[in-house]
Structure 1
Amino acid sequence: MTLEIPKLATTSPILLQAVVSYAASHIQDRSTAEEAHERCVRMLIVELSSAEIANDTAVLCAIVILRVFEQLNVAETGTDAEHHLSGSSALLSKSQGYTIDPASPGLREAAFWIYVRQCLYNACVFQQPPNIDLHHELSPIPHSWDGPSRLRSETAWANNITWICVTVVHFCFGKDSNEPSARMLKWQELSTLLESWRNTRPDTFDPIWQSAEPTDSCPFPEIRFIADWHLMAFGFYSLCCMLLLIYKPAPRFAIRRVQRRMSQTDTAVIGHARALCGACWYAPDTVPSSITLCHTAFIWGPLMIDRTEQEGVIKILERMEQRDKWPTAWIVASLKEEWSIT
């Protein structure tokens, strides 16, 4: 996608303006970014009347890039209008049809999976169901391939855990009125699906190195992966584990007692959080995984009570805004308030 977008932008005015708006925003040239954004939106409105828009790869990519532009311009409060996220669901779903091949390497498919990850971001931050049509079916089911097809296999496994994460997030944050027994059955189904992915995925997804002990320079365990998509898959797997632990159907109090001891569930959740923090600490160039860390912080943040670890999380987030221009100041402010850091 990185190589194809610039080439495609030379023949698509809509995509070109979307790229300019993103690039200008990234270097904080606000006037150029806003002008390109407005031109792109005007052209996009005209294209929306076309019956073939769902098959226009350049337009689909432009919509996804416009969504990233929105995320880069989130206010300090974290308020996100989601203009292009809310308007993209039907269009990007239609571009895939009912059945989605998780191994497909096409640009249109890449745009769809980026959109899916964008949905997960807001779903976790605001604890709401993701704006995704769950009626899609992934086919064929990923399996291990060798030789030239190995990369397609790994693409399928990475996209598969992303889709599992969508179903888990929808289960946890959706407004499902099913009776407790039905929800418990669904929880067990998702737990089995998640562990099946964990037990059958290629061993290339395992960390190439891990150390359980923190070091003087990092308060989290050191975890390293071979490829970016392995780390991204690890992030979504960790998110699924945390959510299924927290949202397992069971009687619970509406308010948690302040200063109570960590429960067994809390300890398991924070274990996954520490591992994700460690993996992101040692892979600052894998920006999508750091973005996953950003929105998962709203799941596990209150459970991280060690001050050194809290400062480590803040360091990761501040580094991300400084290096990658991803807005994290509002997340840092929220965490500092939660942790009583002045």
Structure 2
Amino acid sequence: MCDALKHFTFEVPQRARSNITLFNAIMALSARHLSRTSSFNTFVADRYYQTCLQTLIPALNDSVAINDESLLAATIILRLLEELNIPITGDDPRSHLFGTHAILRAVQRRYDLNPVDTSFRQAIYWAAFRQELWISLMTQRPFQLHIFEADRSIEPANDSTWADRTIAHVGDVIHFAFGEGKHSISRFNRLMEENESWRKRRPDSFVEFFYRRDRDGSGRNFPDIRCHADAHVMGRQYNILARVLLVVHNPTIPQLGPAHKKAKMEVDIQVQEDVRTLVGVALSNERAFPASLVACFAIALVGDRFTNRQDQSQLREMLIKTETRHGWPTKAARSQLEEVWEWNGH
């Protein structure tokens, strides 16, 4: 969604004309998506998946294959297919991935030796990077895959670069939240400053064209926030998601006494506001469908902090809507939240 040249939209299908492994990966993912969003036969996806593995796995045993961009693209596509079979929470996806992590680590070693790559390979790296974000969030483990040294500056650049910077920032925040440095106040302050600097220094093109506090005037609904391009939508989503993680893992919050209760209340208010914004952006820019996935991850992670029944109902509906429209599994997250909320359908 943040690739200005849209390699996976335009180049990957063309490459699939002459690469049977890539072709079968595309067909497998497409069939899996259809089976999760309609009555399409589930076994069609399984057949293409197995057929793809028959040519992909032997090829990846060859060190030369690491240089084959079409095979790397096929690996990324199959990895996404495998993620579609894993709940947002409640499972460890690493045991399901047939070896793509090891493959990408080999790619990382290659990059370390030769960091100059084509724009298509860079797009593949970013796709792998985003996939690792989701895995880290699902397992609440440190971010482990660092294929390349991403741009983290706030210097002038095109909109795609600004959006990519927020993705790299989320990786840093996840490592802080779930890694060894999670108690470092100096690291927290630096990440929070980076988060705010992105919002202050981003191009004016990222500012929404239309904003309304809530969609129906009720005062208790998600905002209507309409952006211009996909990169603007996703840049905003990743920046807010990072802030949610930082606010929740703030090491300066008092652990005991009245000050703890007050600080926790302030955190909950900020988190609820950010989640409402994430959902509002997703609903207002439905063409950028990954925005819904970002919103659902936030709901799964911090939805327990919502105590108002109407809020809970709308968040639950967002999870259902995302799974129905896009096939992304949210049932486990819904079940966990319903238990916390003591949900009975009313």
Task: Work out whether the TM-score is over 0.5.
Answer: yes
> Partner residue of 1:34?
46
What pairs up with 1:1-342 in 2 under 5 angstroms?
1-28=8-35, 29-74=41-86, 78-79=90-91, 80=93, 81-83=95-97, 84-94=99-109, 96-97=111-112, 106-133=119-146, 136-139=148-151, 141=153, 143-144=155-156, 153-176=158-181, 183-215=184-216, 219-250=221-252, 253=255, 263-342=265-344
Q: In structure 1, how many angstroms separate the alpha carbons of the residues matched to 2:197 and 2:262?
A: 34
Q: 1:70 to 1:170 in 2, by over 3 A?
A: same
Q: In structure 1, how many angstroms separate the alpha carbons of the residues matched to 2:113 and 2:306?
A: 41
Q: 1:189 to 1:99 in 2, by over 3 A?
A: farther
The AA in structure 2 aligned to 1:8 is R
Provide Cα deviations, 1:61-95, integer angstroms capped at 9, x if missing partner: 11111111112222697533341553343134346
Q: What is the CA distance between 1:266 and its match in structure 2?
A: 1.7
Q: In structure 2, how many angstroms separate the alpha carbons of the residues matched to 1:15 and 1:31?
A: 19
Name the SS for the 1:52 alignment partner.
Answer: helix
Higher relative contact order (CA 8 A, sep 6+): 2
Q: How does the TM-score come out when normalised to structure 2? A: 0.84
Name the SS for the 1:138 alignment partner.
Answer: coil
Name the SS for the 2:225 alignment partner.
Answer: strand
Q: 1:99 to 1:214 in 2, by over 3 A?
A: farther
Gaps of 5+ in 2: 1-7, 36-40
Q: In structure 2, how many angstroms separate the alpha carbons of the residues matched to 1:319 and 1:164?
A: 28
The AA in structure 1 aligned to 2:199 is R
Q: In structure 2, how many angstroms separate the alpha carbons of the residues matched to 1:319 and 1:100?
A: 41
> Partner residue of 1:149?
none
Q: Is the 8 A contact 2:32 2:81 kept in 1?
A: yes
Provide Cα deviations, 1:261-295, integer angstroms capped at 9, x if missing partner: 96112211211111111111222232211111122
Name the SS for the 1:27 alignment partner.
Answer: helix
Q: How does the TM-score come out when normalised to structure 1? A: 0.85
Q: In structure 2, how many angstroms separate the alpha carbons of the residues matched to 1:328 and 1:228?
A: 23
Q: Is the 8 A contact 2:151 2:165 kept in 1?
A: no
Aligned residues: 325
Name the SS for the 1:128 alignment partner.
Answer: coil
Gaps of 5+ in 1: 146-152
> Partner residue of 2:4?
none
The root-mean-square deviation of aligned C-alpha atoms, in Å, is: 2.8
Q: What is the CA distance between 1:100 and its match in structure 2?
A: 6.9
Moved more, 299-308 or 245-254: 245-254
> Partner residue of 1:150?
none
Q: Is the 8 A contact 1:321 1:327 kept in 2?
A: yes
Q: In structure 2, how many angstroms separate the alpha carbons of the residues matched to 1:222 and 1:313?
A: 16
Write 1 or 2 for the structure with the bigger share of helix: 2
Q: 1:94 to 1:157 in 2, by over 3 A?
A: farther
Q: Is the 8 A contact 2:129 2:146 kept in 1?
A: no
Q: 1:287 to 1:96 in 2, by over 3 A?
A: farther
Q: Is the 8 A contact 2:87 2:331 kept in 1?
A: no
Q: Is the 8 A contact 2:25 2:48 kept in 1?
A: yes
Report % sequence identity: 26
Q: Is the 8 A contact 2:27 2:48 kept in 1?
A: yes
Provide Cα deviations, 1:20-48, integer angstroms capped at 9, x if missing partner: 11111112132121122112223222112
The AA in structure 2 aligned to 1:190 is L
